[in-house]
Amino acid sequence: MPTYKAPVEDALFLLNDVFQIERYNNLPGFADATPETIEAILAESAKFTEHVLQPLNRVGDTEGCTRNADASVTTPKGFKEAFKAQGEGGWLGISMPEEFGGQGLPKVLSTIIGEFQVSANQAFSMYGGLTQGAVASLLVHANDDIKKTYVPKMIAGEWTGTMNLTEPHCGTDLGLLRTKAVKQADGSYKISGTKIFISAGEHDLADNIIHLVLARIEGAPAGVKGISLFVVPKFLPKADGSVGEHNGVTCGSIEEKMGIHGNSTCVMNYDDATGWLIGEENKGLPAMFVMMNEARLGVSVQGLALSEVAYQNAVTYAKERLQGRSISGVKNPDKPADPIIVHPDVRRTLLSIRAFNEAARAFVIWSALRADVARKGNDEKEKQAAEDHMNLMMPVLKGVLTDTGFANTVAAQQMFGGHGYIAEHGMEQFVRDSRIAMIYEGANGIQALDLVGRKLGQNGGRAVMTFFNDVGAFIKENAEDEAMKPYIAPLKASLGHLQQATMWFMQNAMAKPDNAGAGSNDYMHLFGLVAMAYMWAQMAKAAQKKLANGANGASDRLNAKLVTGKFFMERMLPETGAHLARITTGADTVMALPAEAF
């Protein structure tokens, strides 16, 4: 059975030593987030995720969700109690506004807790994650009545939320959606249509389920400019806030899928269901887009979280499994064999996963802090820079962290040999669960296209130029620091590759957009590597500083940081050259064949 230990120390190192969270004390909510408070909350979250959520991960996979004859859905044993405990513990409201029952703490904190929850139990975490996403959307766009009716109960975990976008013929291309909304005399709408792949669409964890639904108001323009956003509760709320009659929305079936079996993925049928407009008519898509950056950050975290828990279990196995002898001489003479962690290829695998995990965690925390500034900042220039960061980096984070996170679960599974293929060790579940994150919230190919086709050129390339300047400045500042050389030189080379690739797009993709499309995936991964190298350089700097100051008993951990960062530079960063080479071959060969030739 797999185990999990939340990486509290690593998160604290990032918050305190690398990103120095005390610098943000002038922002709302940050003053309350003292180092002691943060440590206490993370420690408590570690307990809850390790002892309550993680033990339910396997049963969630084996039992899955069941749709009953009356269209209700039963979740796996133990999920209901755990969800209640999660709500009562306040875990859904950490970064939610205090006026609706939240704790008003920084987004970065709920992001870190999100990682712990997903590592412990991805399928379970989605019920709360989608609820938080729906709340965020309501907070920005809904009127006060709707907010008051729904948000406090959702933050308390008494009600949950969903997002209803996809239809059978319409996934990425939302302009094709057909679900219709007909305005009623009382200002409400009747919603009809079919939505698919609705995570947490129906279940038995909460008293009500609040669906956010994209639909087309009768007579609205075709395409994406005729889409509106509605709130459609499963049970219509009564004036006193309790639940009333069942609305015209039911779960038609639940999907048989590769993983995340503990989460119910539903076909939802809307049949004259009563709903209320959120925001303006025909502005549903922009309303969704506002939330999309944070939703993408959440999915990025899933990539990291599964990579982390898979790593931890692979390490345990590699230390315990005795098989073969070290090629540099027997390490375990009293035993019939050495533990497999003596083998360089096993270490290479483990370090690859770890070097990604620690850089990805830094990238996530850095970006969550930027999200806090974007939402709460009081300096307009800083706010804009933070928004630029979110727009530019979210496709990179989502695409790279979920692609690599998935690949890492596969690599961790490989450490187990045949035992990794067997269900009881839980490694194959990590692979099946993590696979979804590459797909939902915009498939990774779409993330790459969003990056090169939209984000790169936005505002004259302001965001990417800022990133280049920031990294360049860091390189310059540390150019003379001998101890930083193993990190700075590779960072500089890889930044050069990224800049060349960016320049190549500028020169070759304007006239021929296929050149951007053909290089988009490589560019996204090249960008991700450079961003992670920048994270590693900053972590190395912080670790060296802390070591120089006495390390406070953490010198083993800090030395491991330095080695892992060096591994990243030596073994993972060389890929940037290959990405650049591929990008600059352009689209000619990629587009040469007629479709029939495939």
* Residues classed as catalytic: 441
Which of 153, 33, 142 has the alpha carbon at shortest distance from 94? 33
Among 66, 88, 421, 469, indicate the residue that binds its own copies (CB under 8 A).
421
Answer yes or no whether residue 319 interacts with its own copies by CB under 8 A. yes
Q: Cβ 215 to its own copies, closest distance in Å?
A: 17
Identify which of residues 75 and 265 has a Cβ nearer to its own copies in the complex.
265
Burial 527-547 (b: 16+ CB within 10 A, else e): bbbbbbbbbbbbbbbbbbebb
Which of 526, 518, 508 has the alpha carbon at shortest distance from 580? 526
Answer yes or no whether residue 345 interacts with its own copies by CB under 8 A. yes
- Residue 266, amino acid: C
Q: In this chain, which stretch among 21-29, 89-97, 438-446, 539-547 interacts with its own copies, using CB under 8 A?
A: 438-446
Answer yes or no whether residue 555 interacts with its own copies by CB under 8 A. no
Identify which of residues 25 and 555 has a Cβ nearer to its own copies in the complex.
555
Among 18, 397, 518, 530, indicate the residue that binds its own copies (CB under 8 A).
518
Instruction: Report the C-alpha gap between 233 and 231 in whole angstroms.
Output: 6
Q: Which of residues 24-83 bind its own copies (CB under 8 A)?
A: none
For residue 441, give both structure tokens.
């919230």
Answer yes or no whether residue 457 interacts with its own copies by CB under 8 A. no
What is the residue-wise DSSP string for 474-535? HHHHTTT-GGGHHHHHHHHHHHHHHHHHHHHHHHHTSS-THHHHHHHHHHHHHHHHHHHHHH
Answer yes or no whether residue 414 interacts with its own copies by CB under 8 A. yes
For residue 276, the number of C-alpha atoms closer than 13 Å in the C-beta half-sphere is 17
Instruction: Report the C-alpha gap between 386 and 24 in whole angstroms.
Output: 13
- Total residues at interface with its own copies (CB under 8 A): 95
Instruction: Mention every residue, 6+ apart, whose C-beta is less than 8 A from residue 507.
Output: none
Answer yes or no whether residue 455 interacts with its own copies by CB under 8 A. no
Among 12, 71, 315, 547, indicate the residue that binds its own copies (CB under 8 A).
315
**Polymer length of the chain:** 598
Identify which of residues 387 and 403 has a Cβ nearer to its own copies in the complex.
403
Instruction: Report the C-alpha gap between 265 and 537 in whole angstroms.
Output: 41
Instruction: Report the C-alpha gap between 69 and 598 in whole angstroms.
Output: 44
Q: Cβ 174 to its own copies, closest distance in Å?
A: 10
Give the other-Cβ count within 10 Å of 44's Cβ. Answer: 14
Among 516, 530, 533, 539, indicate the residue that binds its own copies (CB under 8 A).
516
Instruction: Report the C-alpha gap between 514 and 25 in whole angstroms.
Output: 46
Q: Which of residues 143-202 bind its own copies (CB under 8 A)?
A: 166, 169-173, 176, 196-197
Identify which of residues 43 and 590 has a Cβ nearer to its own copies in the complex.
590
Q: Cβ 202 to its own copies, closest distance in Å?
A: 17
Q: Which of residues 353-372 bind its own copies (CB under 8 A)?
A: 354
Which of 37, 287, 75 has the alpha carbon at shortest distance from 163? 287
Identify which of residues 185 and 595 has a Cβ nearer to its own copies in the complex.
595
Instruction: Report the C-alpha gap between 420 and 310 in whole angstroms.
Output: 11
Answer yes or no whether residue 258 interacts with its own copies by CB under 8 A. yes
Give the other-Cβ count within 10 Å of 5's Cβ. Answer: 16
Identify which of residues 421 and 545 has a Cβ nearer to its own copies in the complex.
421
Among 214, 278, 351, 526, indicate the residue that binds its own copies (CB under 8 A).
351
Q: Cβ 557 to its own copies, closest distance in Å?
A: 8
Among 521, 525, 527, 543, indicate the residue that binds its own copies (CB under 8 A).
521
Q: In this chain, which stretch among 48-56, 99-107, 409-417, 472-480 interacts with its own copies, using CB under 8 A?
A: 409-417
Q: Cβ 230 to its own copies, closest distance in Å?
A: 22
Q: DSSP 3-state assignment of 64? A: coil
Exposed, middle or buried: residue 432 (CB in 10 Å: 0-12, 13-18, 19+)?
A: middle
Helix (H) or strand (E) holding 190, with range, is: strand 189-199
Q: In this chain, which stretch among 179-187, 294-302, 511-519, 542-550 interacts with its own copies, using CB under 8 A?
A: 511-519
Identify which of residues 47 and 319 has a Cβ nearer to its own copies in the complex.
319
Q: Which of residues 369-408 bind its own copies (CB under 8 A)?
A: 406
Among 251, 341, 396, 488, indicate the residue that binds its own copies (CB under 8 A).
341
For residue 532, give both structure tokens.
């992670």
Q: In this chain, which stretch among 4-12, 252-260, 386-394, 540-548 interacts with its own copies, using CB under 8 A?
A: 252-260
Instruction: Mention every residue, 6+ apart, whose C-beta is less than 8 A from residue 328.
Output: none
Answer yes or no whether residue 428 interacts with its own copies by CB under 8 A. yes
Residue 181 near residue 174 (C-beta atoms within 8 A): no
Q: Cα–Cα–Cα angle for 284, 372, 558, nearest 5°?
A: 135
Residue 115 near residue 305 (C-beta atoms within 8 A): yes
Q: Cβ 56 to its own copies, closest distance in Å?
A: 18
Q: Cβ 286 to its own copies, closest distance in Å?
A: 19
Identify which of residues 7 and 339 has a Cβ nearer to its own copies in the complex.
339
Answer yes or no whether residue 12 interacts with its own copies by CB under 8 A. no
Answer yes or no whether residue 477 interacts with its own copies by CB under 8 A. no
What is the residue-wise DSSP string for 19-47? S-GGGGTTSTTTTT--HHHHHHHHHHHHH
Answer yes or no whether residue 539 interacts with its own copies by CB under 8 A. no
Q: Cβ 367 to its own copies, closest distance in Å?
A: 24
Q: In this chain, which stretch among 32-40, 321-329, 359-367, 368-376 interacts with its own copies, using CB under 8 A?
A: 321-329
